[in-house]
């Protein structure tokens, strides 16, 4: 007899599951939290490399088609995080849900966010250095490097307000992917619900702080090793400012989503 159970759990069950998972995440030992955070930074970095590669081979394809294809390629990163297991800062902004339930305190939340953010940065930078060491910036007669620089320059050209708003939208979509994946029953179902929201945020050019931890250094280093002049507005200080404002936007977007689901499904429990 065929299994008649739904492929994804109902939203109220997902809310309870996410809350339980976030409580467990907040209680992880620091060493494990850092190790899993390093992996997540590298996994998202793999998605960044694929996105840059697709951009390098876009040629004269229509803009929208290039963007959505790039987004689909980038989804590899979150698929690796959620199926292989790792700690991603942006997904952990959903810890506002158990915070509102008083299952974790502000100290535990800030500890988890801080350690995982720093570990994600370390993992992303390590992957970028490996990519440069492997000579990926030379692929396509320099087309890969050009794509990386263009992506990075586009991100640093935005104002602080634009980055915050863009970061809010980006992490709403990322957290929705995390949310739906938590309710999916199989690996195939999880991949199916992860790809569309992730592809959407990348296609729309939104700002995801952990993705930018690899995309921005990749562009800067690719340009540096080729010896060419950096585009106006692209610098290490501009990259740091982007990470600051995109992190703030990601917290507001993802944390707000967690609070919304708490109010809708768990407030009375």
Residue 96 tokens, joined: 């506002």
- Neighbour count for residue 118 (Cβ, 10 Å): 15
pTM higher than 0.85 for the full model? yes
pLDDT at 1: 42
User: Which long-range CB contacts under 8 A does 128-137 form with residues at least 24 apart?
Assistant: 128/45, 128/214, 128/217, 128/218, 128/221, 129/221, 131/45, 131/49, 131/218, 132/218, 132/221, 132/222, 132/225, 136/49, 137/221, 137/222, 137/225, 137/226
pLDDT of residue 2: 47
* The predicted structure's pLDDT at residue 57: 74
Question: How far apart are the C-alpha atoms of 255 and 32, rounded to whole Å?
Answer: 23
The ranges of the chain with pLDDT < 70 are 1-6, 59, 228, 269
Q: Are 70 and 27 in contact (CB under 8 A)?
A: no
Please tell me the distance from the alpha carbon of residue 238 to that of residue 240, in angstroms, as a whole number: 5
Q: Are 204 and 121 in contact (CB under 8 A)?
A: no
Q: Closest by alpha carbon to 148, among 53, 60, 67, 43?
A: 53
Helix, strand, coil percent content, the chain, rounded in steps of 5: 80, 0, 20
The token pair that represents 102 in the structure block: 């008083």
pLDDT for 230: 75
The pLDDT tens digits for 1-12 are: 445 556 789 999
Three-class SS state of 242? helix
Per-residue pLDDT tens over the stretch 85-118: 999 999 999 999 999 999 999 999 999 999 999 9
What's the pLDDT score for residue 50?
A: 97
Measured between alpha carbons, how far is 6 from 55 in angstroms, rounded to an integer?
Answer: 37
Residue 5: Cβ within 10 Å count = 8
Q: Dig out the tokens for 14 from the structure.
A: 């997902």
């Amino acid at each position: 007899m065929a299994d008649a159970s739904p492929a994804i759990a109902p939203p109220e069950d997902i809310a309870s599951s996410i809350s339980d998972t976030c409580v467990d995440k907040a209680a992880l030992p620091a060493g494990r939290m850092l190790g899993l955070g390093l992996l997540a930074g590298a996994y998202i970095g793999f998605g960044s490399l694929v996105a840059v590669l697709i951009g390098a081979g876009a040629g004269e394809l229509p803009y929208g088609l290039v963007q959505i294809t790039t987004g689909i390629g980038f989804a590899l990163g979150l698929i690796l995080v959620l199926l292989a297991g790792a700690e991603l800062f942006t997904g952990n902004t959903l810890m506002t849900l158990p915070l509102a339930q008083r299952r974790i305190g502000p100290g535990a939340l800030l500890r988890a966010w801080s350690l995982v953010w720093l570990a994600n940065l370390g993992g992303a930078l390590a992957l970028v250095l490996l990519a440069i060491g492997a000579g990926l910036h030379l692929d396509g007669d320099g087309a890969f490097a050009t794509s990386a620089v263009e992506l990075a320059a586009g991100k640093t050209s935005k104002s602080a307000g634009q980055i915050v708003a863009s970061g809010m939208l980006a992490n709403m979509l990322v957290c929705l992917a995390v949310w739906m994946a938590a309710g999916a029953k199989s690996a195939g179902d999880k991949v199916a619900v992860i790809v569309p929201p992730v592809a959407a945020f990348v296609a729309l050019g939104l700002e995801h702080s952990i993705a930018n931890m690899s995309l921005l250094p990749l562009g800067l280093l690719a340009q540096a090793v080729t010896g060419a002049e950096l585009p106006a507005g692209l610098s290490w200080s501009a990259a740091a400012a982007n990470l600051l404002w995109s992190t703030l936007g990601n917290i507001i977007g993802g944390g707000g989503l967690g609070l919304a689901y708490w109010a809708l499904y768990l407030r009375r429990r």
